[in-house]
Amino acid sequence: MESNNAADKQIDAVRGFSRFYTRKLGIIEPKLLHSPFTLQEARIIYEIAHRSTCTATDLTRDLGLDPGFLSRTLQALQRRQIVTRKPSKDDGRVNELSLTAKGRTASAELERRSREEVGSLLASLEDSQRAAVVQAMTTIERALERPTEKPAAFLLRSHRPGDIGWVISSQAKAYAEEYGWDISYEALVAEICAQFIKTYDASREHCWIAEAGGEPVGSIFLVKGSDDVAKLRLLLVEKKARGLGVGRALVEQCVRAAREKGYKKMTLWTQSILVAARGIYQAAGFCRVKEEPHHSFGVDLVGETWELDL
């Protein structure tokens, strides 16, 4: 009985939040954001605008729309000269959807109004409240969205306030959980990061953060060793982002930047047990020039020095 009662309360809470959310964002209004378009029309316009190619079949599948409803909506948008159809270059039996000039203007206006609406909503909150709201929305999306086979997208960006703390925490946690390294490794990473911040030379050094879904999932540092030699340090890719090419992209970006900054050689220090990382370094052209057994971070290791002529 208690279990059924708890489930009923949860159902009521979700339905209540749905009513609140649709009212707060104006979704319940006949026209979205005081525009000439309904919510469904605006979503279809958005999808067409943000896809390289788009067909009615794609929209039916991805948006879960009834084919008949979608067909009628597309016809209405065509009559209003928002959407146009043309045979696919790959398959003449299939019509690809695209926006007309009028449709692109409408899409840009919807985007502007949407950003203003949400921006105004968030502006009324304190910084901590905004962060909590966004995190809660991310949690809901991830919990309710079905896993997809499609590779996740990621981007590389420069570090910003708060990222260095994340690097220290993520490095310490990953190596403790996966390799049993003790807290002395966290101390080493903290020292490296603190020194990077204190003596940071933007003309010769850099830190990149890999980001997916709005969250950091990887990092790498380009550090000055001497006028001619750069160091690659602290490569990390979190478990949830492995297999996407994040590590390779980080290393390639680091090497490319070292060349652009005028270094003649790049060096790094790693461990023999870090098989995946060693594979990335080798693929990037690094060669192992030295190896030495040592006892560090509470375990026995074989340290390796790798170099790359730039």
- Greater confidence (213 vs 287) lies with 287
Give me the pLDDT at residue 131, please: 84
* Residue 181: pLDDT over 90: yes
Domain boundary among 120, 144, 168: 144
pTM beyond 0.75: the answer is no
pLDDT tens digits for 24-41?
666 556 566 677 888 888
Q: Does 272 reside within a domain?
A: yes
Let me know whether 183 and 126 are in one domain: no
User: What's the half-sphere exposure (Cβ side, CA atoms, 13 Å) at 146?
Assistant: 3
CATH code, 138: 1.10.10.10
Question: What six digits make up the tokens of 222?
Answer: 């380009």
Q: Is 96 left (phi over 0), alpha (psi -120 to 50) or beta?
A: beta
Q: pLDDT-based confidence at 152, cuts 50/70/90?
A: low
* Residue 273: pLDDT over 50: yes
Let me know whether 138 and 181 are in one domain: no
Residue 59's identity, in one-letter code, is L
3-state secondary structure of 152: coil
Tell me how far apart the alpha carbons of residues 269 and 304 are, in angstroms, rounded to a whole number. 6
Quote the number of domains for the chain: 2
Give me the pLDDT at residue 175, please: 94
pLDDT tens digits for 94-150?
788 888 888 888 888 888 888 888 888 888 888 888 888 888 888 887 788 765 555
Let me know whether 280 and 163 are in one domain: yes
The pLDDT of 206-221, averaged and rounded, is 92
Q: Tokens 């190596």 label which residue?
A: 175
pLDDT tens digits for 48-89?
888 767 888 888 888 888 888 888 999 999 999 999 988 877
Q: Does 13 reside within a domain?
A: no
Let me know whether 209 and 254 are in one domain: yes
Let me know whether 110 and 185 are in one domain: no
Give me the pLDDT at residue 1, please: 43
Let me know whether 201 and 290 are in one domain: yes
Q: Does 46 reside within a domain?
A: yes
Give me the pLDDT at residue 209, please: 95
* Residue 272: pLDDT over 80: yes
Question: What six digits make up the tokens of 277?
Answer: 């990382």
Pairing of strands 95-99, 155-158: unpaired
Let me know whether 81 and 180 are in one domain: no
Name, in order, each residue with C-beta under 8 angstroms of 121's C-beta and a sequence gap of 6 or more: 24, 25
- Find the domain containing 87 and state its range: 31-144
| Average pLDDT over all residues of the chain | 86
Please say whether the dihedral angle defined by the alpha carbons of residues 157, 163, 168 and 173, taken in this order, is positive or negative: negative
Domain boundary among 144, 177, 204: 144
- The answer to which of 10-14, 122-126, 226-230 has the lowest mean pLDDT is 10-14
Give me the pLDDT at residue 149, please: 52
Let me know whether 196 and 237 are in one domain: yes
Q: Report the percentage of the chain scoring pLDDT > 90.
A: 45
CATH code, 227: 3.40.630.30
Whole-number Cα distances in Å, 157 to 163, 221, 223, 258: 11, 12, 17, 16
Q: Are 305 and 267 spatial neighbours (Cβ–Cβ below 8 Å)?
A: yes
Let me know whether 106 and 161 are in one domain: no
Q: Does 293 reside within a domain?
A: yes
Let me know whether 297 and 220 are in one domain: yes
- Max Cα-Cα span within the chain: 74
Let me know whether 76 and 188 are in one domain: no
Let me know whether 138 and 167 are in one domain: no
Domain boundary among 114, 144, 174: 144
